[in-house]
């Protein structure tokens, strides 16, 4: 189901990293697999607990069916996966080592994101408004794979359709 993108609410997560001269600051990239809806979060470093706190804050307002699972790579920033599960009740999965294709949606989205976030940018200079602008551009660009709908349209449609099923 997840691999074939048949069920809404499965996310992929990865950190977007920058040049070493900017330290360990980074951006968390979350992408819902069916809709390709993207959330970007700024982090001051790669410590697991603050990264997971950001993911919890971003996904907690969504209904449970919109946050069924999250797939990570095996980076240490995702070591607090049990804390995340307890915080929002989502299942967590990890890719095999050296297998980025197992979370290809977020990899592709990160390539798109690099248009606005090249490696030479200091992520600490990014405001929430900057990240919201980038998300807005990503989420409101029609995609061929979505029948020329935008990720925001598909995400909204899936939320509404699934809410009616559970009420």
Sequence-distant (≥ 6) Cβ neighbours of residue 90 within 8 angstroms: 11, 59, 67, 68, 69, 70, 84
In a domain, 14, yes or no: yes
- Strand pairing of 38-43 and 26-32? antiparallel
In a domain, 83, yes or no: yes
CA distance linking residue 163 with residue 167, whole number of Å: 6
Q: What token pair was written down for 80?
A: 């607090």
Quote the pTM value.
0.90
In a domain, 143, yes or no: no
In a domain, 163, yes or no: no
Render pLDDT for 111-158 as a digit per residue (tens, 0 to 9).
999 999 999 999 999 999 999 999 999 999 999 999 999 999 999 999
pLDDT of residue 167: 46
pLDDT band at 98 (very low <50, low <70, confident <90, very high): confident
Q: State the residue range of the domain holding 40.
A: 10-126
**CATH of residue 107:** 3.30.420.10
Sequence-distant (≥ 6) Cβ neighbours of residue 105 within 8 angstroms: 12, 31, 33, 36
In a domain, 159, yes or no: no
In a domain, 111, yes or no: yes
The number of folded domains in the chain is: 1
pLDDT at 166 over 60: no
pLDDT of residue 142: 98
Render pLDDT for 37-84 as a digit per residue (tens, 0 to 9).
999 999 999 999 999 999 999 999 999 999 999 999 888 889 899 999
Residue 23 CA from chain centroid, whole number: 22
In a domain, 93, yes or no: yes
In a domain, 137, yes or no: no
């Amino acid at each position: 189901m997840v691999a074939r993108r048949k069920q809404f609410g499965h996310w992929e997560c990865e950190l977007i990293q920058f040049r070493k001269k900017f330290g360990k600051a980074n951006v968390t990239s979350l992408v819902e697999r069916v809709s390709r809806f993207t959330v970007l979060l700024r982090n001051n470093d790669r410590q697991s607990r603050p990264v997971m706190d950001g993911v919890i804050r971003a996904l907690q307002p969504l209904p449970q069916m919109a946050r069924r699972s999250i797939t990570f790579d095996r980076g240490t920033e995702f070591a607090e996966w049990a804390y995340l599960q307890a915080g929002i009740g989502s299942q967590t999965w990890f890719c095999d080592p050296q297998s980025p294709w197992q979370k290809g949606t977020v990899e592709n989205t990160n390539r798109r994101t690099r248009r606005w976030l090249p490696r030479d940018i200091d992520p600490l200079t990014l405001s929430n408004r900057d990240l919201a602008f980038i998300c807005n551009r990503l989420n409101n660009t029609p995609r061929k794979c979505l029948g020329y709908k935008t990720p925001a349209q598909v995400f909204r449609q899936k939320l509404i359709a699934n809410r009616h099923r559970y009420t």
